[in-house]
Structure 1
Amino acid sequence: MTKINQKGTEKLAMMVLVLGVFMSALDNGIISAALTTINTSFNISEVQGSWGITLYTLGMAISTPIIGKLADRYGRKKLFIMEIILFAIGSLLVAISPTFIFFLGARFIQALGGGGIFIIASSFVLTVFPKDKQGGLLGMLGAVNGIASVVGPNVGSLVLNMTHKWHWLFLINIPIAVIIIITGMMWIPETKVTVLKRTDYWGTVFLSLGILSFMLAITNLDQSNLLASLVSPTVLIFLGIGIALFIGLFTIEKANEKKDVDAILAYHLLTNRNFMLTLVMGLLTGTLIAIFVYIPSYVEHRLGISANQAGVYMSGIGLASIVGAGSGGRFVDKKGARETIVMASFIAMVGFGSLAFLSTTITSFLVTSSITGLGFGMLMGAPLSVLASEAAGEEKGSALGTLSVSRQVGLTIAPTIYAALIQGGFDSFLPTVKESLPTEYVSQNLASVKTSSVEATLLSIKELPQSIEQSQMLTIFYDTAHLAYQHMFLMSTLASAVILLLTFALNNKKIK
């Protein structure tokens, strides 16, 4: 094959990989538009319905590092095609689910297929392309995730409005998957690491069960009473089992260093300072991803935008994250991963801090959220992947998979903490209303204000007869929302600051 033909094939392969990443990332956002519809169709509560997301998260977390290792061992093209097929089968099973239990099982299968797509694509870039191109391409993959997060809910709403059936949200994956499978078999070259060692079955079991235990501990946290739930028996049991399993994994992989075994997570990675710091940064970036879930709620509860229009105001932070991912990738190519993280985390810190104190109008929100998105996008694109792959050597798939899991853990923890902070911030609402409004008005109307959730409170206030007092109560609500959500933004500011500090703890060896 000539050099020109090889470059052409690599570009075609990247197009297929990007389409696969877009499909799997889109599915994360597209389902958010249909949660209420799905819950109604199965006649289940919101708490029960949340397991459709929880099981998907668990499946992704468990499969990601394993698929990354298998792709290194048996071939990235082969595993990519298998993942797409499994994702398509899972999507079909979800769409035809006759019961909610069947639906949950199908979502788990779908997650097992989606867990390795991004990792394999990233590993392919780090294996096939020269170093001066890797940052830009990894940034592009990060940008694709940004695009999917923006358009996912909108696509979901569009499909629901056209078909009035949530099933089509998953059926549309089938023709896309068929196209990816056909073109992938034609254009993606096979790449893998030459491995003659035995498979690390025990390490795989301990890693999978350890991740499962930690994720179950996280999902059993109670956002309405976070501190008490931290010491609840269910959380402590799963947390203890997870710690024990990871101690066992550490022991197994240490012993495997002297054996002819292809470790699922090499001991030298577990003792590599840069790699472990990168995992901590990955976890913190996961907490930043979770902020996307609450941006529409903030726009509605603080700025007074209707719920139907609130999602539109994510466009600034979403589009800026796409620009950030692309420019961050190019910056990695030119200056290095460490320098990129320093700049990106500083921008993100300024952005989240500005959201906490300055986003009091629609204009100021759009400006501050765009700054936030720029820094966030730069972090999510290339730099952490490059750091992890540099530490891993030939075991890129395993390293990227572990990084993805750490990010998934942060993404799973953060919503519970954010919800607790927001709910706690609204505890001052009723006392403020009683102090600020006439006693007669409060006694006549406060009983009509529902407090089961923040959204219910806002809607019940809007349903009160229009008056000066009702307008004052609405103003108190918006002011309370500013302080409540401020706690969440400050936590993200702190997470960005910690990422910035951790970059200075990396070994001084310049990583490019």
Structure 2
Amino acid sequence: MAKRSSQFWALFLFSIGVFMAQLDNGIISAALTTINRSFDVSANWGAWGITIYTLGLAISLPIVGKLSDRYGRKKLFIVEIALFGIGSLLVALSPSFGFYLFARVVQALGGGGIFIIGSSHILSTVEPDKQAKYLGLLGAMNGIAAVLGPNIGSLLLDLTGKWHVLFLINVPIAIVLFILGLRKLEESSDPSPGRLDLIGTIILSLGILSLMLGLTNIDVDFAESLTRPNVWGYLLGGVILITILLFFEGKMERNQSGDPILPVRLIKQPRYLMVLLIGTLSGGLLAAMIYIPSFTEQVLGIAAENSGYWMTPLALAAGIGAGLGGMLVSKRGPVFTVIMSGLIAAIGFMLFPLWLETRWQFIIASAIAGVGIGVILGAPLNILATEGLKKDKGSALASLSLLRQIGMTLAPAIYAGFIARAFNNMGTLFAEKFPGILQQNLANVTLSAEAQAELAQIGQHMSSGGSGVSESELSGMLQAIQDPTLKQVLADSVGEITKTAAQTGFSGLYWTAAILGMAIIVGALVLIPLRKKSPQDLEVTEETV
């Protein structure tokens, strides 16, 4: 009975902690413009509020994973919650933009490891037959919070008009979690001999920082970005530092002269490397979700202020999928679950370019994609990353989360490229398709003599242009038109061209997401024979595939 009560409190506290930390990762996007105005900074500078939080998360993941293994997951959970609560309070009270950025780093250091600590605690203390179900619940909280963050942020901002509330609300929750964590959580750890690897920790932090800075500097022109020093320079620096770290950690492990920050023996295993690759691909799938509001606005015609709410079907489906993933792992094994995740997500995203035309079709397609994403969020990859391990579970999960974060950082640059290229092609669309669309729309209305005269002037202007009229020229002519009927027809025709461009861009985006889903399936199939090879330093248990 006491053990059951302990498991309940652990699951409850970790779930609330994961939800709070992940919610904050998305909630700021709703208030970004308001925060920028508050500190009188440009949009480019304001975006650092998100970028620096992402950098802090990436740096903290492997460190928190290792420290939780070494010193105890209860202790690190308490520290993480305290840092997150203090960081949230400092953000809300920030007197300047520089202080605000500092406070966001404190927040990130506190929020980055809660999911890792919770997952490794479950894998270390819960019976194997219940682990998948509990991990699925943590994954559901993680996924739902990520999707609902912008919506909740918008709601709180509408109700209060103050962005500070978005962060102050974390403080009482953090206090409650801190007190209950001290009283209700049981300690779990995998203590390692030797001194803590401080040098490795510094090298790892600098390497991750360099890699993430390079990735965040990539913009919509992916190929051109790679030629810029602020991209390739940081990426090269990160690769060099990580390479140095691997040599350093390998020597430390061989000499048994300390406790390496990186699980080098794991990184040498093809099985674990394949799990990390699948984790990176799953991060790319998750990144596809952030374009849902733009899709609903530009393709389905949803008002901008309501577009964020259309994330709800995907969010609910992701929560259901995470629970389903836990059940599938228990019954059919983690590899089968990963395969089903990739398949369901690929089908959902393929429906966007192949089938989706109406709002109810969007709900169905986004829900299917959400289930697929949710399935992979919690149990299957976490179990695959830690199977057979008697120690370093936190480090193994931290590396997985870091690679997923890299996938989430890299994929948006690729996705945004499709949209940018489609809108850059608007001039060709106007030249080739606008006259025909305008004629079709004019056939449905009756124009006055004055409107016909205005239309004739527009026709002369377009024919004199030779290769067609540009979007900017059309915008100027539209403003000059006096007749409301003609103005509406022209506006509708321009809107159809814009929608066509948006459909082209989003089709490329969601086809790419579907390909990532298929790549996850391939990775899982490759993983099957790799799992059957029992490495010398791991006790790999046979699972049902």
Same fold (TM over 0.5): yes
Range 101-110 or range 4-13, more displaced: 4-13
- Name the residue aligned to 2:245: 249
In the alignment, the residues of structure 2 paired with residue 347 and residue 313 of structure 1 have an alpha-carbon distance, to the nearest angstrom, of: 20
The 3 A distance-change label for structure 1 pair 326 and 449 is: farther
- Report the AA paired with residue 259 of structure 2: D
Larger deviation, residues 266-275 vs 432-441:
432-441
Matches within 5 A, 1:294-305: 294-305=291-302
Alignment of 1:271-420 (within 5 A): 271-390=268-387, 392-420=389-417
Unaligned runs of 5+ in 1: 452-462
Residues 228 and 167 of structure 1: is their aligned pair in 2 closer, same or farther, counting only changes over 3 Å? same
Deviations, residues 46-74 of structure 1 (Å, cap 9, x unaligned): 11111110000000000011001101100
For residue 446 of structure 1, report the CA deviation from its aligned partner. 3.9
Q: Distance in 2 between matches of 1:284 and 1:445?
A: 39
Question: 1:257 deviation in Å?
Answer: 2.2
- How much has 1:43 moved relative to structure 2? 1.3
> How does 1:75-94 map onto structure 2 within 5 Å?
75-94=72-91
What is the 5 A alignment of 1:97-176?
A: 97-176=94-173
Distance (Å, rounded) in 2 between the aligned partners of 1:440 and 1:97: 54
Q: Measure how far apart 1:90 and its partner are.
A: 0.7
Give 5+ residue unaligned stretches, structure 2.
Answer: 436-456, 463-468, 477-483, 533-541
**1:475-508 CA deviation, whole Å, 9 max, x = no partner?**
1211221111111101111111111101111114
Alpha carbons of 1:432 and 1:257: their partners in 2 closer, same or farther (altered >3 Å)?
same
**Structure 2 residue aligned with 1:239:** 235
| SS at 1:504 equivalent | helix
Paired with 1:338 and 1:49, the residues of 2 have a C-alpha distance of: 41
Matched, 1:472 2:482: no
Note if 1:440 corresponds to 2:458. Answer: yes
The answer on 1:422 being equivalent to 2:419 is yes
Q: Which residue is equivalent to 1:455?
A: none
Q: Deviations over 1:215-242 (max 9, x none)?
A: 011122232x321111112212111111
Name the CA distance, whole Å, in 2 between partners of 1:177 and 1:466: 55
Pairwise CA RMSD: 2.0
TM-score by length of 1: 0.93
Q: Report what 1:454 is aligned to.
A: none
1:266 is displaced (CA, Å) by 2.1
CA 1:25–1:346 in 2, change beyond 3 Å: closer, same or farther? same
Given candidates 2, 16, 21, the residue that maps to 1:19 is 16
Whole-Å Cα distance in 2 between the matches of residues 124 and 508 of structure 1?
23
- Asked if 2 retains the 8 angstrom alpha-carbon contact of 1:150 and 1:318, the reply is yes
**TM-score, length basis structure 2:** 0.88
Alpha-carbon distance in 2 for matches of 1:464, 1:195: 77
Q: In 1, Cα distance between the equivalents of 2:200 and 2:531?
A: 32
Given that residues 427 and 470 in structure 2 are in contact (C-alpha distance below 8 angstroms), is that contact kept between their aligned partners in structure 1?
Answer: no
Letter in 2 for 1:259: N
Alignment partner, residue 208 of structure 1:
205
Whole-angstrom distance in 1 between the partners of 2:191 and 2:485:
70
2:508 matches 1:487: yes
**Structure 1 partner of 2:216:** 219
Rounded Cα–Cα distance in structure 2 between residues aligned with 1:344 and 1:357: 20
Using the TM superposition, give the Cα deviation of residue 147 of structure 1 relative to its aligned residue in structure 2, in angstroms. Answer: 2.1
Shifted more, 302-311 versus 428-437: the winner is: 428-437
State the secondary structure of the residue aligned to 1:192: coil
Q: Distance in 2 between matches of 1:499 and 1:436?
A: 39
Instruction: Give the % identical residues.
Output: 44
> How far is the alpha carbon of 1:391 from its aligned partner?
5.6
Q: Helix, strand or coil: the match of 1:199?
A: coil
Count of residue pairs the alignment pairs up? 498
Structure 1 residue 445: deviation in Å? 9.0
d(CA) in 1 for partners of 2:364, 2:410: 28
